[in-house]
Amino acid sequence: MNNQTIPAEQQKEVKEMKPVLIVEDETIMRESLQDWLKEEGYEVDTAESGEEALQKIGEKEFGVAVLDLRLPGKDGLEVLREATEKDPKIKGIVITAYPSVETAVEAMRMGAVDYIVKPFAPDALEKSIEETLGPIQVEIKPKTAAEKERVRVGPAGYVFIRLSDNNPQDCLDVRWKLENMEEVLSIDAVVDIKDFDMVAVVSAPRTVNEVAHKIEKIPGIAFAKFARIMLPPEF
């Protein structure tokens, strides 16, 4: 742990940073994430169920809620929807061992900032929280050389695509161009998902959002929306 003195002005910023809520029914996972984030300097609270999480959100202002998708009672997406109704400023990060395009789309529509697939390195979650709450924690507590050497996952994600025309030849042309992009890992039709015609699973050296913007420039594509996920290292 880095014990450097925090300047007074940065101490004030840390005190004002909103806490993180971990909503996870698996005790080991919940406590491990809580301990990790506390070591990194974050104020952390936890909940075992969606109902407990919503009660805490009603009593306290959180910056980020980390939500397991499968919870007893209300699931993570239902909790995210009700949480944002209680506090529109709260940001949601969905974590799951059961990823699907459908739940990724739904999480994106509800305003989730990340969709992280288990198993994941704690660094991946920390990075997402840092991007959401700001870089204060990293600036006041630089990582050691050993921490920088930890294996990180991603970045990778889904890019949801709406075509400007459903002409079969245009669809084939778009698919061919996508399949020949080095960032695209796979491409599938998504006829059962409202508002989208295709989904591409992509990987990028920087951010998936940049790939979405690149895809959006392909003739025949009207709109491309990314939903980042964190894939396991063996992907």
pLDDT band at 4 (very low <50, low <70, confident <90, very high): very low
Q: Is 134 helix (H, G, I), strand (E, B) or coil?
A: coil
pLDDT of residue 227: 63
The answer to whether the CB of 20 falls within 8 A of the CB of 150 is: no
The residues near 216 (Cβ < 8 Å, ≥ 6 apart) are 223, 224
Residue in 18, 77, 17 with CA at minimum distance from that of residue 50: 77
Q: From CA 96, how far away is CA 115, in angstroms rounded?
A: 8
How many CA atoms does the CB half-sphere of 182 hold within 13 Å?
Answer: 2
Is domain 156-230 in CATH 3.40.50.300, yes or no? Answer: no
pLDDT band at 192 (very low <50, low <70, confident <90, very high): low
pLDDT of residue 191: 53
CATH superfamily of 8-148: Response regulator (3.40.50.2300)
pLDDT of residue 135: 53
Range of lowest pLDDT (96-110, 128-142, 178-192, 209-223): 128-142
Rg of the chain over all Cα atoms, to the nearest angstrom: 19
Angle at 225 between CA 222 and CA 103, to 5 degrees: 130
pLDDT of residue 206: 54
Q: What is the pLDDT of residues 109-165, one digit of tens each?
A: 888 888 888 887 788 888 888 888 875 433 334 444 443 333 333 446 677 788 887
Range of lowest pLDDT (26-30, 35-39, 46-50, 151-155): 151-155
pLDDT of residue 99: 85
Range of lowest pLDDT (39-48, 98-107, 202-211): 202-211
For the chain, domain boundaries:
8-148, 156-230
pLDDT of residue 143: 44
More confident call, 44 vs 175: 44
